[in-house]
Structure 1
């Protein structure tokens, strides 16, 4: 049989439907003129590739970094018209007559089935000659809810019943991946414009340029499990430095180094916490010198001194870089001479700027050489990589025929941000391991999490409907496997509020306050926008209502840092997520699958942002199966109920799961001001629970070599005891002794709200050895 297969391949023919070979990692066969290959990456993760006989198998992927695993045990059964591949987790049936594939769990439950006759392979006769327009359909149950597709601005958590052209845009991140409430995910590995369509319970992907149908099916019993599968396939997210989880201030734009420094100084004078300050565009001068990657000598006369001053104020500096260059820059000339520019219009309008070929590794080398020499070498801490989708002005179909290093621009269009961001991450990592790479960027593609990237939702408008849409947009983005996401707090375009006094306009103040409350529970808390400056002092003075509310939530963010950093470690070490739909933990509750106005932040906190103007009360559904605590009052509420929560302007509904253990950080002006040697530990009784307190050196990659510590805390609700385990791990500068103030939240003043508790149940001194504390 093997000889026959090799003979047919050599002769340019195909295996017939009755023939197959078993490989080390799966099976190969041929049906109806298409060569099939099923490859096993894990017992519950399978690659499916179908290609015309005249095309070779695509062995490499821009997103996928794993290979099929020959160590996985599997069986192949050939019975009548079915070819069956079985692992310990899945059974895959291949219909030898019509070529459709069905995926079953090992208990026989049908998870997903290809729609028979839904394959389309149409040869491209244009610039992508030799490739195909490819389509594959899948049959879904009417009851299935789908999540994913990246960051979509349609306002829905459920992505069913729509036609969506998946291309990158300013406020749209397109990733051809979805996961289902039935417990599986599907990644369509293609980078060209792709139509996702759901009609009459047939979901399909159709890609403009393809070397065949190439997708990955992954089983996962929960949304978190599917995300872990995607991370396994496309890479883990590295730890970001502790400081970046604090508060970050920006605007469009600081125009001199003195203006930028004054912002940091004012925050320090006001004693409002701040960790990051962001320098947006045109620090290089006029648009002809767009993205020159050097500071204009008039407005930024001493850039190194500026960076040093930011650091002396215990803050960190982001600097913007774009993928395009103005015609009077050195970069434009050198990239052009080396044929590394793509010839279509990009931002800014009418400036003649062109983007570089991010798909070319030598172009990425050259890009970094300029960025390092002109910016990073000054001591800059982080990147604001704008227009990474990228901006495409005066768009013409012929623009997509432009040749890149990997083929036409059309064929790799959606992977632009992935390739661009990879160049900065890889080069900075090679240069130094002492400073973690931090990248804030406007677009993303599958696998980008492995490059320290944090995507923001683009230049969105400052209004209530847009605010509301950001919640499901962020959740679906996270559900594709990318954990780091944020928005411009207040929305980017705020022009409609300027006439009413800008930051003093009561209407904008209300919107901004609600948005900042939401931002407190994003993976990154960052204020930014145009038209109206967003620094806290623009909204008033200490003692003024709006100022005090904004300060309250910024301080809340800093008290949460031990919890947030532990969540970040779970993201890195266990494929976890920050923003999680209620479905993640409560899939047995039929009411939660489509809830899009509240979500879980980490494992313990449920937040319900206020997204309606002048809202007085907000109905918040609390998933059944566990009791909940109102964060502000400590009142215990039953799961499966709706809390009609009063929401005065200073209150956003926040709930904590029974059984949660929350470490409460100290009052600080910046993230690393104080060590965590004097923590309040809030315990929410009603269920057993655990928490792992994670610490490392905060801003280097030594954690990858084992330089970190974990302290497991375990709450036994029946016994009323908290067990604090032996400290695991070690690193230079690690605390040897610390004080824990233990608080049982019970509806009194203990353990509620932002400020530390006035009373504790017990205080213990912890020296790294196991202790068991009886608390009731």
Structure 2
């Protein structure tokens, strides 16, 4: 066993510091004022820099050319240090890094002296006799831990031991199963004593384990540890001080969420059932789209399960179309598009040895090799023995892109569903090409699904250069958000899954992956009972990926109209989703620029409220809406804690509640308990039924003006890359108070397809307006709502909901709206 206990030498290279200890070498790089890299190896030399994950570096990297469209090179902060005899001090504008000489340990504080991270002295960096690497950190009783990627159970992971590994966990228990499909070795620590958040990212893709205080020894201070099966201890410390700052900085490092296609925000139909029919699966999918329209249920796409690839032997062969089920694939794709939907076909990176293309990939050397590099590695897969495409090999990448183009993309398909890509290769010594450097698969397993998504992105870009791709992945590593939307795999159909899938999604959002979700209605098991199905859809409408998907084991198919007497509840929920599309699209723009999650745990917005530090099931939808879904069978009452520091308004009744209290809400089957906060600015679309084909003629804002605030409404064409060239519209909507309310609209960008009319529901909790002015022009006031409804502009006060309803023709440039609340003295008149 090797333990670093004593510094032997220090060498300053101006922008990084090299330290030799009695057991390991360290390289300290101050990437910027908020991110510190601590690289540790127990080998003679550091490995060559070669990362598929990082998009911000301050050093030359083997993957610079491959990632040239994504990676940014920055200049590191000076590594000049001060020597204080027992320790040396490195500094940035925000952090102090104290490196103790003996016993060797690293401590990071802010400028006020708050300890943000501290190695466990005498046991900080360790390599055991089996080659496993450990990093031990001190832990405080008031520490809370969030993130860790796709993890089951409650939001706070304190006193949890979790394994980082990709595995196909069909029918998993959403409270206890570990691991799942994603491998993201990153977490956020929030200390409740000093109210400071920080993060730690381990840039290591070997299988690993986090122990967040589950282990305890009386001989040491309380600690947590990270243990990796190999590689280096490559640690990135990330400063906040707020949780949202940590997420922003982490996604600066590993990438922001890809800007999605707008239609991907719609309802995406799916089921394994249709593509497993003996014939005419194409007609079943087209009939599904027609039925959605007949039922008044919006739908913008269909995830097509892998049954479409089935060969004559009943096995699935990627890139193969089953002609009995899909007589004319090109015509079918065209018909789906004509119905206002996009098709997302399922593809898998494991190719069965009986695959018609197997020999071609094998002869090209496109598969992962066995440990002797003599032949393609063959392993267990769905359907039989298979080899796996090596996406670290240019030959594998190019051949995959060729067949992806020929079989799917050339037909007009620009939505790709990457499935079963966990790379469960049992021989950990199987060899990946790794851009010519050769490395065992155990070092690169979770990288493969990221590169698979990267290849889908590149393929679509090569065939349709100006088309925005829509890629969905089941597996992934840190940085997967740059390429793909994700979902939490094959969940079990149960009330528990409905409930505990919520913190799974929230944890992913705190791990940089904003665009994700879970199968709605449950994937594995019997058909959901009516009440469970309704509640699941009511929750699912807030997930960025909204798809009802099933593989029921009772010979049924989960469809929106499966229970006719309950269809109205399904329809109402999905239509609410479509109503919120402008708000949701703006949030995904925020994710693409700031890294912010869409579904946010309450602690993300209200971290100073101690009562929300453990909240796992109620969440914020963006910054303004609190959602408290009904997730318990037969519930008649829903208790909701409303965070302090703001007032809250019931979504439907507009009843006001002060924050910092728990309320009880009566619920019926159609209830979706929602509350918006004071200062909320929420854009909505009226009557949107298809994102592909419908334009938003009337844009509505729900505005609560008792607090000054702002919101960025983002608009573009939703399909092309023209937004990168200025064809977008960012509207900064700001609320200001000064003897009334002023709402300003400041616009940036060249996108000119704006809504024709603006409607505003302005909450007026104390007093009705006396006058509303648009660009210094007084708008007419109506006493009769019927007259207001037929007018082109004006306002009306709804006394029951205490809401001023304002409308006017949209204005191209910047403008302001003024609302006067002076009391009109009728008696003296």
In structure 2, how many angstroms separate the alpha carbons of the residues matched to 1:724 and 1:686?
15
Residue 215 of structure 1 aligns to a residue whose secondary structure is strand
Matched, 1:467 2:498: yes
Cα displacement (A) at 1:608: 1.4
Corresponding position of 1:676 = 696
Counterpart mapping for 1:499-578 below 5 A: 508-531=529-552, 532-540=556-564, 544=565, 546-578=566-598
Counterpart mapping for 1:162-201 below 5 A: 162-171=160-169, 172=180, 173-182=182-191, 183-198=197-212, 199-200=215-216, 201=222
Cα displacement (A) at 1:328: 3.0
Contact 1:560 1:665 in 2 (8 A): yes
In structure 1, how many angstroms separate the alpha carbons of the residues matched to 2:742 and 2:357?
60
In structure 2, how many angstroms separate the alpha carbons of the residues matched to 1:70 and 1:681?
43
Contact 1:238 1:450 in 2 (8 A): yes
Matched, 1:697 2:702: no
In structure 2, how many angstroms separate the alpha carbons of the residues matched to 1:417 and 1:364?
12
Contact 1:292 1:330 in 2 (8 A): no
In structure 1, how many angstroms separate the alpha carbons of the residues matched to 2:477 and 2:405?
25
In structure 1, how many angstroms separate the alpha carbons of the residues matched to 2:356 and 2:655?
63
Contact 1:82 1:95 in 2 (8 A): yes
In structure 2, how many angstroms separate the alpha carbons of the residues matched to 1:526 and 1:179?
29
In structure 2, how many angstroms separate the alpha carbons of the residues matched to 1:726 and 1:217?
37
Runs of 5+ in structure 2 lacking a partner? 59-73, 170-179, 192-196, 217-221, 276-280, 369-376, 769-784, 790-794, 796-800, 822-829
Match of 1:112 among 108, 114, 117: 117
Corresponding position of 1:270 = 295
In structure 1, how many angstroms separate the alpha carbons of the residues matched to 2:47 and 2:611?
44
Distance 1:276 1:124, change over 3 A: farther
Cα displacement (A) at 1:233: 0.5
In structure 2, how many angstroms separate the alpha carbons of the residues matched to 1:455 and 1:159?
21
Contact 1:711 1:724 in 2 (8 A): no
Of 18-27 and 514-523, more deviation after overlay is shown by 18-27
Corresponding position of 2:519 = 488
Contact 1:288 1:326 in 2 (8 A): no
In the TM superposition, structure 1's runs of 4+ consecutive aligned residues that sit over 6 Å from their partners are 747-751
In structure 2, how many angstroms separate the alpha carbons of the residues matched to 1:197 and 1:584?
23
Cα displacement (A) at 1:473: 0.7
Contact 2:6 2:101 in 1 (8 A): no
In structure 1, how many angstroms separate the alpha carbons of the residues matched to 2:30 and 2:646?
38
Of 759-768 and 223-232, more deviation after overlay is shown by 759-768
Counterpart mapping for 1:596-675 below 5 A: 596-675=616-695
Corresponding position of 1:22 = 12
Contact 2:145 2:156 in 1 (8 A): yes
Residue 550 of structure 1 aligns to a residue whose secondary structure is helix
Corresponding position of 1:43 = 33
Of 233-242 and 303-312, more deviation after overlay is shown by 233-242
In structure 2, how many angstroms separate the alpha carbons of the residues matched to 1:40 and 1:707?
37
CA-to-partner distance for each residue in 1:463-511, whole Å, 9 max, x for gaps? 111211111111111111111111110111132x4xxxxxxxxx71111
In structure 2, how many angstroms separate the alpha carbons of the residues matched to 1:606 and 1:488?
22
Q: How many residues align?
A: 727
Corresponding position of 1:3 = none
In structure 1, how many angstroms separate the alpha carbons of the residues matched to 2:573 and 2:737?
31
Match of 2:757 among 733, 739, 749: 739
Matched, 1:345 2:379: yes
Matched, 1:141 2:155: no
Residue 143 of structure 2 aligns to a residue whose secondary structure is coil
Cα displacement (A) at 1:769: 2.8
Counterpart mapping for 1:200-279 below 5 A: 200=216, 201-210=222-231, 212-255=232-275, 256-279=281-304
In structure 2, how many angstroms separate the alpha carbons of the residues matched to 1:292 and 1:162?
38
Corresponding position of 2:173 = none
Corresponding position of 2:361 = 335
Residue 522 of structure 1 aligns to a residue whose secondary structure is coil
Distance 1:52 1:44, change over 3 A: same
Cα displacement (A) at 1:375: 0.9
Match of 2:472 among 424, 434, 440: 440
Cα displacement (A) at 1:600: 0.9
In structure 2, how many angstroms separate the alpha carbons of the residues matched to 1:344 and 1:164?
29
Corresponding position of 1:504 = none
Residue 423 of structure 2 aligns to a residue whose secondary structure is coil
Corresponding position of 1:316 = 342
Cα displacement (A) at 1:417: 1.8
CA RMSD of superposed structures (Å): 2.4
Contact 1:284 1:295 in 2 (8 A): yes
Contact 2:8 2:22 in 1 (8 A): no
In structure 1, how many angstroms separate the alpha carbons of the residues matched to 2:257 and 2:463?
19
In structure 1, how many angstroms separate the alpha carbons of the residues matched to 2:810 and 2:485?
35
Corresponding position of 1:85 = 90
Cα displacement (A) at 1:121: 4.6
Contact 1:282 1:291 in 2 (8 A): no
Residue 662 of structure 1 aligns to a residue whose secondary structure is strand
Matched, 1:422 2:454: yes
In structure 2, how many angstroms separate the alpha carbons of the residues matched to 1:140 and 1:765?
58
Residue 320 of structure 1 aligns to a residue whose secondary structure is strand
Cα displacement (A) at 1:366: 1.0
Match of 1:774 among 818, 822, 827: 818
Cα displacement (A) at 1:238: 2.2
Contact 2:183 2:478 in 1 (8 A): no
Contact 2:365 2:396 in 1 (8 A): no
In structure 2, how many angstroms separate the alpha carbons of the residues matched to 1:724 and 1:768?
13
Match of 1:285 among 282, 286, 310: 310
Matched, 1:400 2:400: no
Corresponding position of 1:761 = 805
Contact 2:624 2:677 in 1 (8 A): yes
Distance 1:323 1:18, change over 3 A: closer
Distance 1:566 1:376, change over 3 A: same
TM-score (ref. length: structure 1)? 0.90
Cα displacement (A) at 1:771: 2.6
Contact 2:31 2:76 in 1 (8 A): no
Cα displacement (A) at 1:118: 2.3
In structure 1, how many angstroms separate the alpha carbons of the residues matched to 2:520 and 2:536?
6
Matched, 1:354 2:387: yes
TM-score (ref. length: structure 2)? 0.84
Corresponding position of 1:325 = 351
In structure 2, how many angstroms separate the alpha carbons of the residues matched to 1:292 and 1:771?
54
Distance 1:717 1:251, change over 3 A: farther
Matched, 1:479 2:510: yes
